[in-house]
Amino acid sequence: MKTTSIIFSALAATVATAAPAQDVQARTSFDLSQLNNLAFSNQNFQYLNVVNSLDLQLLAQLGSVNNFNILGFQNLFQQSQFNLQSLLEFQQLQMVLQLAQLGLFNGFDLSSLNFNNLNFGLINGVSNFDINSLIDQSLVPQITQVIQTAVVVKE
């Protein structure tokens, strides 16, 4: 079975458990400081965020309107590590946001959707592989410039 098939089937199983609700009760308040105000602490994730144009406000909307437990991605926003496990969590985040942009989650109560149980990097401790070791340090100024340019454009 291919890796993408495994990931898709795991997501399909978790989405299938999310029950449609006629009257999803929106949360009245939501504290984004636990998610570093939707800003990644790790420079590499900041770069991937810019390159992939993630709509992180949509994540906040999923949390407040659809009761999605966005705190499942708390480590991703606060950690300084750039390893395989965190990269797979970033991929989960990107996939959830893409599905939300398509309107797949409209009218669904996502409180039962749980990504915390999915750990794709368990095989032989591969999840702890430091991806920073693969990044040429001479590219860091260019990466920083891309991040800073994107921040200026958003403001």
* 19-76 pLDDT, tens digit each: 444 454 555 566 788 888 899 999 999 999 999 999 999 999 999 899 998 888 898 9
Q: What is the mean pLDDT of the chain?
A: 79
Average pLDDT rounded to a whole number, residues 108-121 = 75
Beta bridge partners of 83: 130
Q: How confident is the model at residue 150 (pLDDT cuts 50, 70, 90)?
A: confident
- Cα–Cα distances in Å, from 155 out to 36, 149, 152? 18, 10, 5
